[in-house]
């Protein structure tokens, strides 16, 4: 894949945490000729249009990926698609599975069809660690979203479109993520609510998440799922570190902020998983990431001559990685671009 200079790019879910970061990075560094920001969040689109100043390159499109006709119009003359639109909150999706399927699975299918009809150059679906051997509605629909994307390489016929996925864990500062939730709870004087004291999670700054998306685009041959090697935090370490660091900033003694254990919520796992046992044999290891090659044949995938091969002999889970220290957790929070927004509410 070549770079994105002079490309026409569509970002679905462009007002979300990952989507908006992709849009800003595209504006600042990647030099596409057009960026279409597609979202069903009217207020989010208005706020982004007000905040970003590049009228000659930005287009703000209100619509829903469930609407195939709208997608066909949005896709006209597009070269590259970054698909970030999804329903992502595990608990809410457990109680609203019909809606989750409509957006995460059928919406992705609609988008793939529109991309094939337009014969775009590349299509990247942004997925989650919860898609690996899923235990939740959200994870199951995101796995299906991945499989639809990979299988599109077999449906495209003689077209040149390359379809692939990226998969990563929690992103600092993203909508609904635990760090801003804990900050709000500390700001309010507590308690901090921890679902399970044994819980571990993969974590990354939003800048690294977007780096992975662009790196995947440039490496894409068609059919791969790119998985960044990620640090891990223990949920109790995060709660305790944030209480110690931020309670004084909000006028509290850390000892005043209680930590309440609420129990695991529907669909949640104690430890997250980025690569499952069934995917190990298809996985190639690079210095900073893993590449899961297609599980199905006839994808048109031509293996690259990677210097490194797979060294995994078991699943890649958050239980198998040494967690960050409390000081490392705080340093990562404060180095993310979302830090000032989170702390200032």
Q: Whole-angstrom Cα distance, residue 289 to residue 303? A: 16
**Residues 156, 113 contacting (CB under 8 angstroms):** no
34 by Cβ neighbours in 10 Å (0-12 / 13-18 / 19+) ranks as: middle
Taking each continuous run of H as one helix and of E as one strand, the counts in the chain are: 12, 16
The answer to whether 70 touches 40, Cβ cutoff 8 Å, is no
Closest CA to 258 of 241, 240, 245: 240
Q: Strand order of the sheet with strand 232-234?
A: 170-171, 200-204, 232-234
For residue 129, the SS3 value is helix
Alpha-carbon dihedral angle through residues 220, 225, 231, 234, given to the nearest 10 degrees: 160
Tokens of 128: 């989650």
Task: Note the helical H segments in 36-124.
Answer: 42-51, 68-74, 90-95, 97-100, 108-118
Measured between alpha carbons, how far is 311 from 211 in angstroms, rounded to an integer?
24
Cβ–Cβ < 8 Å for 205, 329? no
Could you give the residue numbers annotated as active site?
130
Half-sphere exposure of 69 (CA within 13 A, CB side): 0
Q: Which two tokens stand for residue 279?
A: 């995917």
Query: What's the CA gap between 165 and 266, in Å, rounded?
Result: 26
CA distance 47 to 41: 10
């Amino acid at each position: 894949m070549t770079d994105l200079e002079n490309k026409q790019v569509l970002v679905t879910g462009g007002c979300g945490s990952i989507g908006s970061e992709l849009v800003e990075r595209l504006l600042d560094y990647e030099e596409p000729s057009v960026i279409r920001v597609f979202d069903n969040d009217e207020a989010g689109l208005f706020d982004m249009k007000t905040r970003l100043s590049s009228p000659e390159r930005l287009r703000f499109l209100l619509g829903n990926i469930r609407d195939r006709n709208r997608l066909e119009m949005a896709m006209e003359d597009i070269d590259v698609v970054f698909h970030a639109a999804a329903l992502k909150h595990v608990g809410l999706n457990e109680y609203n599975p019909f809606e989750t399927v409509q957006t995460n699975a059928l919406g992705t299918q609609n988008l793939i069809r529109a991309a094939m009809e337009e014969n775009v150059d590349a299509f990247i679906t942004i997925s989650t660690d919860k898609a690996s051997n899923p235990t939740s509605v959200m994870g199951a629909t995101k796995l299906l979203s991945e499989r639809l994307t990979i299988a599109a390489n077999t449906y495209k016929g003689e077209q040149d479109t390359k379809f692939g996925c990226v998969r990563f864990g929690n992103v600092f500062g993203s909508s609904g993520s635990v760090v801003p939730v804990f900050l709000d709870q500390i700001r309010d004087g507590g308690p901090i609510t921890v679902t399970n004291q044994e819980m571990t999670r993969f974590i990354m700054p939003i800048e690294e998440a977007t780096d992975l998306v662009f790196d995947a685009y440039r490496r894409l041959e068609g059919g791969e799922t790119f998985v960044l090697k990620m640090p891990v935090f223990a949920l109790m370490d995060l709660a305790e570190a944030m209480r110690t660091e931020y309670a004084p900033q909000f006028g509290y003694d850390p000892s005043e902020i209680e930590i309440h254990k609420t129990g695991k919520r529907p669909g949640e796992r104690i430890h997250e998983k980025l690569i499952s046992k069934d995917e190990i044999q298809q996985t190639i290891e690079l210095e900073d990431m893993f590449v899961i090659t297609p599980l199905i044949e006839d994808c048109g995938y031509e293996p690259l001559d990677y210097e490194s091969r797979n060294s995994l002999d078991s699943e890649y889970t958050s239980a198998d990685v040494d967690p960050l220290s409390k000081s490392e957790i705080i340093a990562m929070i404060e180095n993310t671009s979302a830090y000032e927004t989170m702390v200032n509410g």
